[in-house]
Amino acid sequence: MSNDSPNGLRLEDAEVEEILHSLESSDGDRSGRGVRATRYIFGLQVKLTQPGGSAIERRVVTRNVSTGGMAFLHAGYVHPGSRFSASIPTADDGAVIGVAGEVVRCRHIKKMIHEIAIRFDDPIDLPNFAQLSPEDEQRCWKESGKSEVESQERGVALVVDDVKSQRAIAEVWLKRIGYTVEQAATSAETMEAVKATQFDVIVLDMQLGDESGLDLARSLRAAKYMGTIVAVTADADDEIRQQALMVGCDAFVAKPVTARNLDQAIEDATVGQGDPSDREPIYSSLQEDETVLPLIVEFVNSMTAVIDQLSGAVVKKDITTLGSIFKSMKAEGGALGFWQVTEKAEEALASLSSGEPTVETPNLANQLLQVLRRVSVNLVESEMDGEDDSQPQADVAA
């Protein structure tokens, strides 16, 4: 095996694996110590700068990683005190994150192989770099200090799941990250709870026994719920994720649910929502015109069907239907005083100008969906005199 071997150790991969397994079996009991995760990366490029200033770049084989450091196998001796830097791929999507630290130990293993121990300059978020068990992930969360919540200041959350134990688990984690929590087991209980309480977050399981979480999310948006909806499912399929986002969910969590992935999902959703005013109802600038008002009411009442049709077209990648809806919303929105609808529909339509969707088309369609869900008409303020009792007398929304 040459010096240019892919793993950097001048050994066959099988022999390297034997060394790694032997080291793991000799580690002994780590109970009572911090979380350390096994992470084998063959051929990771690292930079080592000796105390005298000379720098080398080498390929190494990583062995394990913790919040505070890592260990790897290297073909040669490295002086303690040497500086270390590398770009390490994350465990989920392969994106690289730069880390730096100092060599604190170098011990001989066999032949030219040494194990190098690194202490990071700054702690890392370990779950980004290694697949952890739910128990270890919670230990990392606790060790980071994020589990210490002084008061319930983040708001009120509703957990919706037909399985009692799953509701209880989610409630524990939500309380840990600062929410007061209520529970619901069915769609009917959820809708009643939303009428009684203004929830900041709804954590919604996508499979509620014989009921569909997707349908419930759609109903919540149709009922003008403007808070954050986090979809939870055991199935991490991209199609399910896309469907959840299309019916009004803001974020997605794959089971098992933990404090960390809930907190991250809620944070991501909040960042994506932008200014709080972007969640408020949108009223027509023409709703005080009594001759136009009936058409506005009809438009608003049609939104549920339009949203369903648009959501389905996005999931199915039905370009013909997408183009038709974009054109319709651009024209009708502007004519009826909903300039935000026209603006978003025009942007989405432009992404189809070549006759084919661009990478931005699904995102622009989702932005249009968010606007359509906010379309409303306030009939009380409009004072529709002379209308019969069959006309709605309160806010109407998609």
The percent of residues above 70 in pLDDT, for the chain, comes to 83
User: Which CATH architecture fits 13-141?
Assistant: Beta Barrel (2.40)
- Going by C-alpha positions, the residue among 31, 35, 62 that lies closest to residue 126 is 35
Average pLDDT over residues 222-249: 81
Give the pLDDT score at 45: 93
User: Which has the higher per-residue pLDDT, 203 or 259?
Assistant: 203
Peptide bond into 276 cis (omega under 30): no
Q: What is the pLDDT of residues 150-207, one digit of tens each?
A: 444 678 999 999 988 888 888 888 888 888 999 999 999 999 999 999 898 999 998 8
Average pLDDT over residues 219-227: 85
Give the pLDDT score at 48: 94
pLDDT-derived band at 249 (thresholds 50, 70, 90) equals confident
Give the pLDDT score at 126: 81
What count of other Cβ atoms lies within 10 Å of the Cβ of residue 286?
Answer: 15
Give the pLDDT score at 152: 45
Q: What is the pLDDT of residues 307-342, one digit of tens each?
A: 888 877 887 788 899 999 999 999 999 899 999 999
Give the pLDDT score at 380: 53
Are 261 and 253 a contacting pair, CB within 8 Å?
Answer: yes
Q: Is the pTM of this model over 0.75?
A: no
Give the pLDDT score at 138: 65
Domain range annotation of the chain: 13-141, 151-276, 281-397
Edge-to-edge order in the sheet of strand 201-205: 179-184, 155-160, 201-205, 228-233, 251-254
Is the pLDDT at 290 greater than 50, yes or no? yes
User: Which has the higher per-residue pLDDT, 348 or 235?
Assistant: 348
Cα torsion 322, 324, 327, 330 to 10°: value is -70
Topology (CATH level 3) of domain 151-276: Rossmann fold (3.40.50)
Pick the CATH number of 281-397 from 2.60.40, 1.10.1740, 1.10.287, 1.20.120: 1.20.120
Candidate from 198-202, 282-286, 356-360 with smallest mean pLDDT? 356-360
Q: Please provide the average confidence, as pLDDT, over all residues in the chain.
A: 81
> CA 228, 233, 236 angle in degrees (round to 5)?
110
Alpha-carbon span 268 to 109, nearest angstrom: 44
pLDDT-derived band at 384 (thresholds 50, 70, 90) equals very low
Q: What is the pLDDT of residues 26-79, one digit of tens each?
A: 765 545 456 778 888 999 999 999 888 889 999 999 999 988 899 999 999 999
Q: 162 in helix, strand or coil?
A: coil
Alpha-carbon span 61 to 55, nearest angstrom: 19
Is the pLDDT at 386 greater than 70, yes or no? no
